[in-house]
Each structure stands twice: as structure tokens, then as C-alpha cells.
Structure 1
Amino acid sequence: MKNLIIIGARGYGREVHDLAKQCSGYNTEYTIKGFLDDKSDALNDFENYPEIISGVEEYKIQDNDVFVCALGSVKWKKHYVELILAKGGKFINLIHPSSTLNTNAVIGNGVIVFMYSNISNDCVIDDFVTIQGFVGLGHDTKIGKWSHLNAYSFTGGFTVLEEEVCLNTRASVLPNITVRKGATVGASSLVIKNVKEGTTVFGVPAKVLNF
């Protein structure tokens, strides 16, 4: 039996805790050992959660430990996952049983998929991608490492999201569109043309925001 440790004990960490309890591997392949978080009092106002064991930097990996990363920020998810990987830590996938993986869908390592998401035919999901609830991925969608798709977001067929892309809540990307590395699509936006690397787009149709 593996001991699952959740990186991050804030709101998203609490959600991932419940996701882990709802997945088929709970109490058959793993139990939940606790959280890693630098804010040692993050759970003080909450009940029914396991303890915060330590911060990520201080934690010494034990036999049978496995990890998931519950951080909504692409930047910080990558940072803390790489810290654990450098220590020799191993990550598992959490995929809610209500979500669908269609024919030939390929899923990487350290992937999180929440409830009622649809990963359609021949999609490719790279390592450490997070897919929130009710996300729809059209056939042949490709999602690069570290990307984060918030609830109710959608991609059409043959969409490409490169590494470190964030789709915010209800964002939609039309078929055959590429969203380049590190780009962010704002909530409820409709992407109708390719998005340049490192940019933030918002609106219907989505346009570049300059800060």
C-alpha cells in the first residue's frame, strides 16, 4: 500500500483530498498520509482532513510515499513538483471515475482529472496536467506538460495547448487552434485564432491583454 501525500493544503488541496478518496485506488492502492505546505496552520479552521506533515523543502521522502500536486498556479506547481522529483519522489494520477477516456487517449504521469470531464478520442495529455471538473476535450487534442484547465473549459478537435498553458473557467478554444507555451486564456473567453507564447487573452473573441 502506497502513502499518498498531497502538495498544497489550501482550498485546492482540500478538493484534491476528496478527489483522492473518490478514486478507485483509495484504500486498495494507497491511503492518504497528509499534506505538504509551508503554511503550517492552513488547516486550522477545518476539520476532517489529515495533517500537514511539513513544508516541501524540508520533507524527507519515505518508503512507499507517492505524491500529487494540488497547486492551481502553473508556475508554483512546476516549482514544487520539480523539488520532489529531485529528491526521487514519484507521482501518481488521480482520475475521477465519472470522467471518460475515449479510445486511444494517452495520459502522462502526475495528471489530475476531476469529475465529469470528457477526454475524447486520440487525445494526448502530457505529464502534470490538471483538468478540473466538467472539462471537454475534443478529439485529437494535445495538452503540454504542466498545463491547467479550469472547470467547464473546452477544446475543439485538433486543438494544441503547449506547455504551461492555463485555460480559465469556461474558456473555449475552437478546433485546429494552437495556444503557445505559457499563455493564459481568461474566463469565459472564446479563442478563434492562435495565441502567442506567454500572452494573456480575454474576451469574445479573445484578444491580447496588455498590462
Structure 2
Amino acid sequence: MTRVHDMGGRFGDGPVQPGPEPVFKYDWHARALAVTLAAGALGQWSIDRSRHTRECLSPGDYARFSYFEKWISALADMLVDQGIVTREELASGQAAGRSPLAERALAAEDVAGVLARGGPSDRATQQAPRFAVGDAVVTRRPARNLHVTGGHTRLPAYAAGVPGRIVHLHGAHVLPDTNAHGLGEAPEPLYTVVFDAADLWGAPERAGDEVTCDLWDSYLRPA
């Protein structure tokens, strides 16, 4: 079973209405992004764990929350789970004392450099790629985490059990399925896989349309 966030290809949500939108519709959206990045600089969780925490919001909240409400709600959950703040501190908006992580606070003058460096996930590994560019593959089905029942995975449900073709090899990268759960980085070869839109959706917008996904080695098998 997939979580409520895995919505690709789902019917019933209405048409997508693309159009010009501001980066931040409200002032608090910018603050939500800023405090999430600042908290991430404390080094207490990985990007994979933060994604999984957003996925674990209750289905009712996930469905009604806006994008940045999901971000800030998941951040509150991680701060409490890690013991960085208490529920009482969140409710009052006041810290009970100086945090032991205060020295790791991200200074304003360091923000540009930190963002420019990013958080590279490429790693050295002895695992050789099983596939080469041009190889035909099939994604595993169902799209589930093999290490943690109900855990995080980057294989979307709409692409599970579908034939595709390798078009690029990115080298080895941290495996989200383990890293999101504190089980280690377990790097694997990462590929870009191209799918025929008709294989994914049945009735594509145009014949010949394609969809690409970046997928880890353990998500794939030879066609």
C-alpha cells in the first residue's frame, strides 16, 4: 500500500491548471522555507528522513495542508522527535533554555555558501552497475521499501512493474530506502530510466510522449 503522498497518475483530483505563481504567495511561506533550511543545518536528520516525515503526516492533514504547511508540520515533528524542542516550547513559542545545538546555528552570512554547496549524495561503492545505457529493464512491483515495511522509497507507485530503458548512469548514490530510517547510506548505482507514457497511463496526451525517473539499482530487474 502506498501513502497518500504518492498521487502520480491518480484520477479524481481534477485537472492541473498551470499558470504564473509567485515563489512565495504569503510572507510566512518564505519563513517556513528559511526555518526548515536553518534546522536542517543542525545536522540532526537527512533529506531522506525529512521527506519520509512529510509522507507520514496523517492522511487528513496531508490532503488539506498546503505545500508549506506540510513542510512546517513535518519540521515540528522532527524537532520534537529528536529532542531539540519540546511540545511545550512549540506551544508557547519560547525556548526553555539555551539549546546545546546553538553553536551550529546557520548565520545569515553563511546561507549563500551552504546553499551553493548543497548536500551531494554521490558516494564511492564497490557495487558495479548491473545495467548500461540502452538496457531494457522493468521496475519492481509493488513499489515498496524492501528494508522497512511501509517505509520511504523513491520508486513511485505509477511506475511500478513497468518496462523502461536506461538512458543515463549517475554513479552510486545514497539509497533513500535505508537512509530515511537510520539504517545507513547503502549507496547503489542510480540510473535515469525512460518510460513510454502509454505504458504508465494507458492513454497519454500524445503518442510517443515519454517520462523519465531517476531510480536505484535495487528498484530494477532485467526485462
Q: TM-score range by the shorter chain?
A: under 0.3
| Higher Rg | 2
TM-score, normalised relative to structure 2: 0.20
TM-score, normalised relative to structure 1: 0.21
Higher relative helix content = 2
Which protein, 1 or 2, shows the higher relative CO under an 8 Å CA cutoff with sep ≥ 6? Answer: 2
